[in-house]
């Protein structure tokens, strides 16, 4: 697992807005092992001239296809439908059973590969030292956060009160109704954060109910919300400006397909946030 620092440096620019969404790299399962797998098998890494290219083994091919499918939040049934293959064929490939040239071509096409024969070609597979170097680079550049369910309006309101900023985003194409509902939820909780101190305890129940209505509607539309909190050290000012770091807390509100929520996700350790 990654070792997380108590505070992570975040450089803030002066020309951007906090409301802009931050890209969240979703990582499922054990972060270190999944990332190592990605580095070991994804096709674009580390072209070593000292090594001869080779075809991926069936086990490596199965791992790559499963990783790409999960990263898109697709079920095996969805991959089968998009690729034009049967579900049993997809299952056999992911079990590392033999697959045909045309099957691998159909899967590459489903994933949007420009070269539809990508999975039929040899690759330069990185060695253990290269994998270790890329893993170290990942751990230096990214931090993993444990996520928890966000299910009530009161819960969200209290999280907003305890964090000075948020980075809210969706990890998949939700469709117009869900996009609008999620945008309304974000607007609501950001507006509330700006004036929360003006609300009495009894008045807050109106806020809880309004946020709850949005959360319930998102769930009806197949969207599940997860959140994480992160301690930051903010450096205010332009890129050349000098400023003392200021401790702060940020709230991540992330939308996932209902029933396909991860336990963790990864975000950059240092990034520019518009404020």
The reported pLDDT for the residue numbered 43 is 43
pLDDT tens digits for range 104-138: 999 999 998 889 998 999 877 777 787 788 778 87
- For residues 43 and 121, is the Cβ–Cβ distance under 8 A? no
Chain centroid to Cα 126, Å, comes to: 25
What per-residue confidence (pLDDT) applies to 242? 60
Token pair of 70 as six digits: 């999960």
Q: Which stretches in the chain have pLDDT values below 50?
A: 1-49, 274-275
Amino acid 58: pLDDT = 92
Cβ neighbors of 96 (< 8 A, separation 6 or more) are: 57, 58, 59, 61, 62
What integer pLDDT is reported at residue 183 of this predicted model?
A: 96
CA 38 to chain CA centroid, nearest Å:
15
Read off the pTM. Answer: 0.60
Distance between CA atoms of residues 232 and 197, nearest Å: 23
pLDDT at 156: 97
- What pLDDT, on the 0 to 100 scale, is given for residue 241? 53
What pLDDT does residue 262 have?
A: 82
238 is written with which tokens?
Answer: 């332009």
DSSP code string of 57-100: PHHHHHHHHHHHHHHTT--HHHHHHHHT--HHHHHHHHTT----
DSSP output for 188-209: HHHHHHHHGGG--TTTHHHHHH
Instruction: Give the per-residue pLDDT at 239.
Output: 56
Count of alpha carbons within 13 Å of 139, Cβ hemisphere only?
16
């Amino acid at each position: 697992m990654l070792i997380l620092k108590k505070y992570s440096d975040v450089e803030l620019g002066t020309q951007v807005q906090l409301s802009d969404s931050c890209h969240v790299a979703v990582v499922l399962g054990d972060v270190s092992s999944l990332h190592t797998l990605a580095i070991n098998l994804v096709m674009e890494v580390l072209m070593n001239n000292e090594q001869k290219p080779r075809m991926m083994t069936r086990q490596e091919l199965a791992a790559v296809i499963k990783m790409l499918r999960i990263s898109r939040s697709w079920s095996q049934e969805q991959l089968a439908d998009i690729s034009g293959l049967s579900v049993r064929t997809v299952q056999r490939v992911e079990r590392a059973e033999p697959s045909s040239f045309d099957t691998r071509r159909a899967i590459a096409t489903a994933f949007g590969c420009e070269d539809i024969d990508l999975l039929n070609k040899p690759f330069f597979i990185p060695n253990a030292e290269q994998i270790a170097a890329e893993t170290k680079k990942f751990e230096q550049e990214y931090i993993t956060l444990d996520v928890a369910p966000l299910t009530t309006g009161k819960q969200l309101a209290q999280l907003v009160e305890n964090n000075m900023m948020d980075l809210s985003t969706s990890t998949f194409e939700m469709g117009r109704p869900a996009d609008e509902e999620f945008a309304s939820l974000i607007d609501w909780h950001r507006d509330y954060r700006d004036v929360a101190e003006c609300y009495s305890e009894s008045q807050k129940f109106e806020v809880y109910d309004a946020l709850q209505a949005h959360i319930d509607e998102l769930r009806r539309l197949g969207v599940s919300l997860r959140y994480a909190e992160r301690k930051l050290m903010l450096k205010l000012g332009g890129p050349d400006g000098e400023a003392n770091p200021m401790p702060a807390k940020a709230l991540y509100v992330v939308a996932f397909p209902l029933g396909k929520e991860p336990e963790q996700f990864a975000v950059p350790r240092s990034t520019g946030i518009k404020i």
